[in-house]
Amino acid sequence: MDETRYNTKQLTVLLRQISRTRKVYVNQYNQRVGAALQAQIKPVIESLETRSPDEVKGQLQTLIKPDSINAVFRNLFVTVGATFARNVEERITKSDEDPMIGIWEGALIAYVTHELGPIISSISINSRDKAGRLIDRIMREYTFPEGAGIFDTAKLFQKEFNRLYGEMSIGRAKVISQTEVLRASNKGSHMGAQSAGATRKVWLTSGIILPDSEPRHVGYPGLHMQERALDEAYDVRGYQAMYPCDPGLPAGESINCHCAEVYRRI
């Protein structure tokens, strides 16, 4: 099977199919990531009921932990990554057997643990930063009712924090879920190509083939249709990447990147 020789029409059909599958998972995990962000901030909200805002702010490092984010990442990568691995293996081998599922799932969990730790940590750091700045903002701008007691004031502060943080989390959840579904789809596809015995890969810049897609990387000379051996890195304007959304790329080169790959088995 040689997908690298597909014409424009064939590549368009394939990318449309990939995009539709990705969109289903983005919609699904947008809610799950949002719930994980809320679970992460829950100890802060609970603490605001019994502790002063300054005291809570000083404890954000211990209150906001990465556990819920790590859990949703593991679920996302096992689900999305294994699906795309199977899809690519079936495309290349024309077989619908999936004896590699258990191996792929184990490899994807290890990938989250060993390769995505910095990304998960950065989300937690960002949560702490946003929580701290939000506490400062409420203390500076919010006017509490005159004569409100300590308990009532704490409840009002807690309610306002919960409302504002929830509003901020909507956009964050969308960006995180979309980026990580895209990353998982590309990592899984690459694993499926390896399992199928593919030897060559080609980078497809989605915005060139699908005009309505994210324009990221459209203006990068030499990236679209760049061909490499399967175990060789692409050159993304001086950065090395094994596949689109490679976690080794800077955030600006991977966040919301809709690019994909096609493969050749000789």
**pLDDT at site 99:** 66
HSE-CB at 71 with a 13 A cutoff on CA atoms is 11
- Count of Cβ atoms closer than 10 Å to residue 222 Cβ: 11
Answer yes or no: is 231 within a domain: no
d(CA 57, CA 52): 9
- 26 within some domain: yes
pLDDT of residue 213: 77
Which range marks the domain in which residue 111 is found?
8-197
Tokens 């890969």 belong to residue: 201
* Per-residue pLDDT, 98: 63
Q: What is the pLDDT of residue 230?
A: 96
**Of the candidates 36, 35, 19, which has an alpha carbon nearest to the alpha carbon of residue 181?**
19
pTM of the model: 0.92
Domain-located, residue 224: no
> 250 lies in a domain?
no
Residue 187 lies in a domain: yes
pLDDT digits over 182-208, tens only? 999 999 999 999 999 999 999 999 988
Q: Model confidence at 153, in pLDDT bands (50, 70, 90)? A: confident
* The pLDDT value given to residue 245: 96
Q: Is residue 124 part of a domain?
A: yes
Total domains present in the chain: 1
Q: Is residue 148 part of a domain?
A: yes
In a domain, 58, yes or no: yes
Mean pLDDT of 213-222: 83
Kindly give, in sequence order, each residue whose CB lies less than 8 Å from that of residue 264, ignoring residues fewer than 6 positions away: 1, 2, 3, 4, 5, 198, 199, 200, 201, 202
